Amino acid sequence: MADHVLLARARQDLGAFAELVGRPLATWQAASLTLERRTTVIVAPRQTGKSRSLAVLALHRAFRTAGIRVLVVSAGEDAAKRLLSEVRAVAADSPLLAGSVVDELASLVTLSNGSEIRSVPASERAVRGWTVDLLIVDEAASVEDDLLHGAALPTTAARPDARIVLAGSPRGTAGAFYEAACRGFAGTDVHTVAVRWRLRDATWISAEAIAALREGLPPALARAELDGEFADIGDGLRLFEDAWIDAAVARELPGLGSLAVRDRPGGGPLRLGVDVARSGHDETVGVQVRGGRVRVAFAGHGWDLMRTAEAVVRATCEDRLADSSALAAVDETGLGAGVVDRARQLGAPVRGFVSAARARQPQRYANVRAEAYSGLADALRDGLLDLDASDRVLIGQLRQVRWTTDRLGRILIESKDALRARGVVSPDRADAVVMALSLDAAWRPREVLSAEDRAARELEEALAIHARAVRVQEARLRWNHPKDWAGGSVMGNVLGERW
């Protein structure tokens, strides 16, 4: 085709433009972004190419009409930067867009025809005050309604021909994005059209990867993120389904001390999780888990740290006479650190649990707490736990736990502060169960790894096993030759090697 014909087509057609600038779009992606009506709503699962399509769309519109202004609003600072760098990369690589200028500080790309594309995070300060011809909101379900209505949408008010694109994965059945989608799907509003994208149409994501993702997600999250469906926000965001909890309450697993316990996941050794009270209202509580049987070991109000430490020692060390591999996890953030130190000093096998620490699968879970809670969700869903029917406190707390996703789309469990704000008591017992489960690989949420990551992980694990064997060997040597010790108590050294 002659150059001028190609050029004319690229001006006309988003798909042709995308091809020419080296970011081809699927037919269904390009077809949903013709912007015939004032507002276009794209409801799409994760990874179906929303951000890519929007970046190309922004460039296409700026390219085909001189002197227009495009504002791209992303849910967060990082997302806005990523989108800007995608726009910049396309502009830099393509002869079609030669002469484009980038001002990183102003998050602005100016094309040689005078059109501008600005990419900003969803904040009042960044958004308010612009007048634009095209407003694009990526991850629109994560942008606060106030901001969308109060600052973002008004940027188009002065231009009757302006266009708006709201794209995102669904997040519950309320809010401006949900309402716009409903209007668009219902066809009752001549100014709004909604389009649903499907994961199965995104050929760049393998069916295997989708199946693996689905397995690792709570059902409500899978419905929203994989199927792109609006799930009811109240129950849809609850981490544990009532049916799972009810089944776990009805289930009777063998009691502690029974040999049958050893055959169950996480079976055998006793695990104790301990949540340390931060105020008089909260409970200090220790929960034991063994072979899937979950029971409160101790609970009380107003305990001082020494008393809690002693309870930890009692709950683990009694068992250690029969079973030397008992372990306790104690919430180490804040007050709990004192309990960890004292219980350790008394010889208890304690590990600190830090909720905010980095998860083992940091791309899926915002922190250790989210990962550990997801492990509990898996165990409940898979029917591996026996909850105490008389423990209404724990059962009530489990029914309240909600998940959400952070700006990076990782699973996040509602914080204790947020719960308090909703008037819900702190889920101390649920936290203790989660801490107990976190001690065993058997209770961790299943990993979703690429073959490459898996190989790296296996190597890492093999090296860790080797390093541990070397340490044990050294400990044995020291045991046999006490004169060579560097210091410390006898038990401390032995324990130090074991945990």
Give the DSSP letter string of 18-62: HHHTT----HHHHHTT---SSEEEEE--TTSSHHHHHHHHHHHHH
List strands edge to edge, sheet with 271-275.
293-300, 284-290, 271-275, 327-331, 350-353
Could you tell me which stretch among 51-59, 282-290, 310-318, 412-420 binds Mg ion (CB under 5 A)?
51-59
The two tokens of residue 224 are 């929203």
Please identify, using beta-carbon distances, which residue of 51 and 155 lies nearer to ligand ATP: 51
Total residues binding ligand ATP (CB under 6 A): 15
Could you tell me which stretch among 47-55, 156-164, 177-185, 438-446 binds Mg ion (CB under 5 A)?
47-55
Instruction: Identify the residue among 16, 50, 118, 253 touching ligand ATP (CB under 6 A).
Output: 50
Instruction: Identify the residue among 37, 38, 46, 399 touching ligand ATP (CB under 6 A).
Output: 46
Output the CA angle 61-62-63, nearest 5 degrees.
90
8 A C-beta contact, residue 51 and residue 76? no
- How far is the C-alpha of 371 from the C-alpha of 483, rounded, in Å? 44
* Pairing relationship of beta strands 403-405 and 411-413 according to DSSP bridges: antiparallel
List the single partner that 47 binds among Mg ion, ligand ATP, none, CB under 5 to 8 Å by kind: ligand ATP
Burial of 460 (0-12, 13-18, 19+ CB in 10 A): exposed
Reduced to 3 states (helix: H, G, I; strand: E, B; else coil), residue 463 is helix
Beta bridge partners of 192: 39
Q: How many CA atoms lie within 13 A of 488 on its CB side?
A: 15
Please identify, using beta-carbon distances, which residue of 50 and 402 lies nearer to Mg ion: 50
Q: How many CA atoms lie within 13 A of 175 on its CB side?
A: 22
Query: Of residues 398-437, which lie at the interface with ligand ATP (CB under 6 A)?
Result: 409
Does position 204 interact with ligand ATP (CB under 6 A)? The reply is: yes
Does position 51 interact with Mg ion (CB under 5 A)? The reply is: yes
8 A C-beta contact, residue 159 and residue 132? yes
The two tokens of residue 367 are 């922190």
Please identify, using beta-carbon distances, which residue of 26 and 387 lies nearer to ligand ATP: 26
Reduced to 3 states (helix: H, G, I; strand: E, B; else coil), residue 86 is helix
CB of 51 vs ligand ATP, minimal distance in Å? 3
Total residues binding Mg ion (CB under 5 A): 2
Query: Nearest to residue 349, comparing CAs of 191, 459, 497, 214?
Result: 497
List the single partner that 48 binds among ligand ATP, Mg ion, none, CB under 5 to 8 Å by kind: ligand ATP
Please identify, using beta-carbon distances, which residue of 223 and 429 lies nearer to ligand ATP: 223
List the single partner that 405 binds among ligand ATP, Mg ion, none, CB under 5 to 8 Å by kind: none
CB of 170 vs ligand ATP, minimal distance in Å? 11
Could you tell me which stretch among 24-32, 103-111, 249-257, 354-362 binds ligand ATP (CB under 6 A)?
24-32
- How far is the C-alpha of 26 from the C-alpha of 360, rounded, in Å? 34
Could you tell me which stretch among 31-39, 46-54, 290-298, 491-499 binds ligand ATP (CB under 6 A)?
46-54
Does position 49 interact with ligand ATP (CB under 6 A)? The reply is: yes
CB of 308 vs ligand ATP, minimal distance in Å? 42
Please identify, using beta-carbon distances, which residue of 74 and 367 lies nearer to ligand ATP: 74
Query: Of residues 139-198, which lie at the interface with ligand ATP (CB under 6 A)?
Result: 169
List the single partner that 204 binds among ligand ATP, Mg ion, none, CB under 5 to 8 Å by kind: ligand ATP
Torsions phi, psi of 164, nearest 5? -130, 135
CB of 168 vs ligand ATP, minimal distance in Å? 8
8 A C-beta contact, residue 283 and residue 301? yes
- How far is the C-alpha of 431 from the C-alpha of 354, rounded, in Å? 12
Please identify, using beta-carbon distances, which residue of 204 and 452 lies nearer to ligand ATP: 204
DSSP structural state of residue 415: P
State which residue has the least CB distance to Mg ion: 51
Please identify, using beta-carbon distances, which residue of 18 and 327 lies nearer to Mg ion: 18
Instruction: Identify the residue among 48, 94, 367, 426 touching ligand ATP (CB under 6 A).
Output: 48
Does position 29 interact with ligand ATP (CB under 6 A)? The reply is: yes
Beta bridge partners of 40: 165, 193
Please identify, using beta-carbon distances, which residue of 84 and 248 lies nearer to Mg ion: 84
Residues lying near ligand ATP in the complex (CB under 6 A) are found at 24-26, 29, 44, 46-52, 169, 204, 409
Residues lying near Mg ion in the complex (CB under 5 A) are found at 50-51
